[in-house]
Structures are given as structure tokens and as C-alpha cells.
Amino acid sequence: MIRISKDYDVRKQEFLDAAQKLFYEQGYDQTSVNTIIDYVGVSKGTFYHYFKSKEDLLDALAERVARQRLEQLHSIVEDRKLSALEKFNGYFAGSRGLIEKSEDIAKAVLRVMYEDENILLRHKARVRSMELVVPELGKIIAQGVQEGTFNVPYPERTAEMILMLGGELKDIYARLFLELDEKPENISLAKQLIDQYEDAITRMLAAPEGSIRFHEQLNLRDFLV
């Protein structure tokens, strides 16, 4: 076999890129280490030179995904021209992700990601994202309290709860989306769900009724990822 040496970081990113693609397409359990090394074009030994276990790779991937998400958010938080309410609504509206490209690809990804078997992948990504995002969302809420729009004693705790709810909601939402072909009524169910979520958030923040609105800017497809 030909031997190709690469810079450490370059190679590591290759592994992460491969993992992201393969895990999303086939799931974590269903993707063997052999599949990964075949895809990257290296040997077993090389893999274990970079990661101490398959799960170690998963952790690294979760970390990378979480950081990417954080950067996305950071530009909004630091914008001094925006009110807390605008930031808040903007954050949730900005969650639109892969679905714009192709609905088929999106469905395939979701189908895999939201199988029970892949709960570990989702869980790790979510936990790490939470750790990073909670403080940022907390800042937005704190700003809102100062501006008099919101009223909560501990902004970060509230941010935590809002995000926990959001995370669980995505699960349900994904399921509704995937069943859309068989159950057209899911569209109204999903809308109802978002309404409820908006309402719950509004109440938790003690925000003016109707001020929290990311709903209209979204269609059924945009909420995920």
C-alpha cells in the first residue's frame, strides 16, 4: 500500500469529516471503524494513533459541531444594535440548517439521527452544545431583563430550561417531519407544538404576550438541526 503522510491537524480533520458524513448517513453504531478508515484511506493503526477509541472520535466530533454552532450564535449576541427580543427571536429563526439544500438529504439524515440506536450521537452533541450555548442565551435574557422586556431571577437557569425544552421538542418535531408523507395532519400538529413552545417560553420569561415569535419565519422544515 502506498504511504501518504499528512500534517497532524489535517489528518485529524479528515477523520472528523469522514465521521460526520458517515455517522449522519449510517448512524454511529452502524459505522464501523473499518468503514471509517476505508473512507479516509488509512489503516487501523493510524486511526488509533489519532483517537484512543471509537467513542473518542465521537466526542471530538460533538465538540466540533458544538463549537460551530456557538460561533453562529456569537455574532448575534455581540451585535450591539439589536434588542434582546430581536436577538432572541433571531437566534431561534437562525436555527434553519441543512434542510434548505435538499429535502431528501435532510430526510435521510434525520431518519438516521433520530433512530433510537443513535441516541448517543445526539446526546453527546446536545450536552456539549448546551454547555456552550447556555451562557450566550443567558446573556441575551439578562439584557432583556435590563431592558424590561423579560422578568426572571436567574437568566442562565431560564436559558437552560428553554434550551432543554427546545432539544426535546426537536425530537418530536423530527418524528412529525419524517412521518409527513403518511400523516399530512402532522403539519397542524407541528404548528400547534411550536405555538405551545412559544407560549411556554413567553410565560417563563414573563415576556409581553405575542412578543416571542419565531414561528412565522419558519415552515415545517426549518426548525430542525
Partner DNA sequence: CAGTCTAGACCGACGGTCGGTCTAATTTAG
Partner DNA sequence: CTAAATTAGACCGACCGTCGGTCTAGACTG
Q: Is 204 in the site for its own copies (CB under 8 A)?
A: yes
Q: Is 164 in the site for its own copies (CB under 8 A)?
A: yes
Q: Which does 157 bind (CB under 5 to 8 A by kind): its own copies, DNA, none?
A: its own copies
The owner of cell 455574532 is 75
- Interface residue with DNA among 39, 48, 115, 119 (CB under 7 A) is 48
Q: Is 123 in the site for its own copies (CB under 8 A)?
A: yes
What 14-20 contacts at long range (C-beta under 8 Å, 24+ apart), as own/partner pairs, is 14/40, 15/40, 15/47, 15/50, 15/51, 15/57, 16/57, 16/60, 16/61, 16/64, 19/57, 19/58, 19/61, 20/61, 20/65
The stretch near DNA (CB under 7 A) out of 3-11, 152-160, 181-189, 190-198 is 3-11
> Judged by CB, which is closer to DNA: 29, or 131?
29
Q: CA torsion, points 124, 126, 127, 132, in degrees to nearest 10?
A: 120
CB of 165 to its own copies, least distance (A): 6
d(CA 98, CA 133): 20
Q: Are 174 and 112 in contact (CB under 8 A)?
A: no
> Judged by CB, which is closer to DNA: 123, or 183?
123
- Interface residue with its own copies among 76, 82, 119, 218 (CB under 8 A) is 119
The owner of cell 414561528 is 215
Q: Is 196 in the site for its own copies (CB under 8 A)?
A: yes
C-alpha cell at 221: 422544515
DSSP string, 147-158: HTS---S-HHHH
Please provide the distance, in angstroms rounded to a whole number, between the alpha carbons at the two ends of the chain: 39
The owner of cell 440506536 is 117
> Judged by CB, which is closer to DNA: 33, or 225?
33
Q: Are 182 and 192 in contact (CB under 8 A)?
A: no
- Interface residue with DNA among 13, 21, 38, 43 (CB under 7 A) is 43
Q: Is 42 in the site for DNA (CB under 7 A)?
A: yes
> Judged by CB, which is closer to DNA: 1, or 81?
1
Q: How many chain residues bind its own copies (CB under 8 A)?
A: 26
CB of 4 to its own copies, least distance (A): 34
State the residues that interact with its own copies by CB under 8 A.
116-117, 119-120, 123-124, 127, 153-154, 157-158, 161, 164-165, 167-169, 192-193, 196-197, 199-200, 203-204, 206
